């Protein structure tokens, strides 16, 4: 029987036309336009202890714009974790192609990022997730699956010249979660274009390769220096940009 060998084959061309809208639509059952509109209206107007979701988004943006813009580092970091969203890795290709969209953000219609932080351990949501780092390897905090499956998007603030503000939710609360400064958690009310993005990942292999050095220096936090570029996604996006 003849078999096909797909080893080392490049199938990334299949993702050329995938968008974030496509991915989210695939997760929803087909509904009539009227039914979908009623469903969306119901979600937006549903009340809770803090008001409607629309109220929360409006309040977040309003509180953000009341603050003075800041000048961030050249490179800042945004974290997405598809494993928690129930969406497969195709989302990485869609973000790399379209950029980070505020309409998909959980941060109240804004894109949040980490500024002047050099430890992955202090990135959100890891600072509030007690299971993000487990005590294995001689007591040294090893990354859990929630960290290993996360996407770390490096944003070049020279390529994206939008305005950045301190995250209004972290302005007074950053000290509750860690010994960090509010300026370490920032946000922008605009989409971040794909040209400003580069995808990085943390792998267990890299962690283990550097474990001895980490133990010898007694450094308890995982540095961003352990992140490695995701060549498959970044090279694919580079080919698309050249073709365009």
Share the mean pLDDT of the chain.
75
Please identify, among 66, 85, 118, the residue that sits at the C-terminal boundary of a domain: 66
What percentage of the chain exceeds 70 in pLDDT?
62
Supply the angle between the helices 90-98 and 231-243 in degrees, to the nearest 10. Answer: 40
Whether 161 and 61 map to the same domain: the answer is no
Higher pLDDT, 73 or 145: 73
Residue 38's pLDDT is 43
Identify whether residues 123 and 161 lie together within a single domain.
Answer: yes
Q: Which has the higher per-residue pLDDT, 125 or 22?
A: 125
pLDDT for res 15: 53
> What does the alpha-carbon distance between residue 17 and residue 113 come to, in Å, rounded to a whole number?
27
- Give the model's pLDDT for residue 194: 92
What is the average per-residue pLDDT within 153-180? 84
CA distance 133 to 115: 21
Residue 27, domain member (yes or no): no
Token duo for residue 152:
């770390």
Local confidence band at 131 (pLDDT 50, 70, 90 cut-offs): confident
Exposed, middle or buried: residue 151 (CB in 10 Å: 0-12, 13-18, 19+)?
A: buried
Window from 86-95, 106-115, 231-240 with minimum mean pLDDT? 86-95
Last residue of a domain, one of 51, 66, 81: 66
Quote the domain boundaries for residue 51.
33-66
H or E, element range at 33 = helix 33-45
Q: Which of 66, 84, 115 is the last residue of a domain?
A: 66
The answer to whether 176 touches 103, Cβ cutoff 8 Å, is no
Give me the phi and psi of 92, to 5 degrees please: -60, -45
């Amino acid at each position: 029987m003849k078999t096909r060998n797909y080893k080392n084959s490049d199938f990334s061309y299949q993702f050329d036309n995938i968008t974030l809208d496509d991915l989210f639509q695939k997760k929803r059952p087909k509904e009539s336009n009227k039914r979908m509109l009623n469903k969306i209206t119901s979600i937006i107007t549903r009340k809770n202890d803090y008001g409607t979701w629309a109220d929360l988004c409006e309040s977040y943006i309003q509180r953000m714009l009341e603050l003075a813009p800041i000048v961030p580092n050249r490179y800042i970091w945004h974290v997405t974790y598809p494993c928690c969203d129930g969406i497969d890795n195709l989302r990485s290709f869609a973000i790399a192609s379209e950029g980070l969209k505020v309409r998909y953000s959980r941060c109240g219609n804004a894109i949040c990022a980490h500024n002047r932080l050099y430890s992955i351990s202090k990135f959100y949501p890891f600072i509030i997730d007690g299971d993000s780092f487990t005590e294995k390897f001689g007591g040294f905090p090893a990354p859990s699956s929630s960290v290993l499956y996360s996407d770390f998007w490096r944003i070049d603030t020279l390529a994206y010249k939008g305005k950045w503000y301190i995250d209004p939710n972290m302005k007074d609360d950053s000290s509750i979660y860690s010994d960090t400064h509010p300026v370490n958690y920032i946000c922008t009310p605009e989409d971040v274009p794909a040209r400003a993005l580069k995808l990085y990942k943390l792998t267990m292999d890299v962690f283990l390769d550097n474990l001895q050095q980490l133990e010898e220096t007694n450094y308890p936090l995982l540095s961003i220096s352990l992140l490695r570029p995701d060549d498959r996604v970044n090279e694919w996006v580079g080919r698309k940009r050249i073709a365009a």
